[in-house]
Amino acid sequence: MKSMSVHEFSATTINGDEKTLADYKGKALLIVNTASECGFTPQFEGLQKLYDEYNDKGLEILGFPCNQFGGQDPGSDGEISEFCSMNYGVTFPMFSKVDVKGDQAHPLFHYLTKETKGILGDQIKWNFTKFLIDQEGQVIDRFSPQTKPENIKDNIEKVL
């Protein structure tokens, strides 16, 4: 039986369009739960640098804003989108705000956390948890919020 992959999920983009992750088949993905008012928010800069460096080599970064950790992303999708582009020049795809833990968690994050246990078991502990996905949609690795984007370059290059 074929194992599941992230390509079986879809999500709403920050502009309100439904997007299937199957559109990213053949690309490596870095899926990140983000927040605009977090101590880790400056990681947007590092994520954008990774995107600039590796996008033409087959990497997509997908940002999923989440307000579940300390209420650190209270804005609307429009406000979040504007914040990310104005303050960090974000050009990688951003999605509509989601829950990443609990009963209301987006199904994609249920899948990601089931595939890669972290310090808190299958729970996401904070903003900017990062999941590296290969071109077939399989979860390869999980990185803590404290892991700076530039520190996962080697992992990304192995997948590419």
> Which residue in the list 6, 11, 32, 38 is annotated as catalytic?
38
CB burial of residue 62 (10 Å; 0-12, 13-18, 19+):
buried
Closest to 140 measured CA to CA, from 59, 85, 76: 59
* Whole-number Å distance between alpha carbons of 48 and 52: 6
Helix (H), strand (E) counts: the chain: 4, 6
Q: Known catalytic residue: 66?
A: no
The angle at the Cα of 40, spanning 11 to 127, to the nearest 5 degrees, equals 40
Which residues participate in catalysis according to the annotation?
Answer: 38
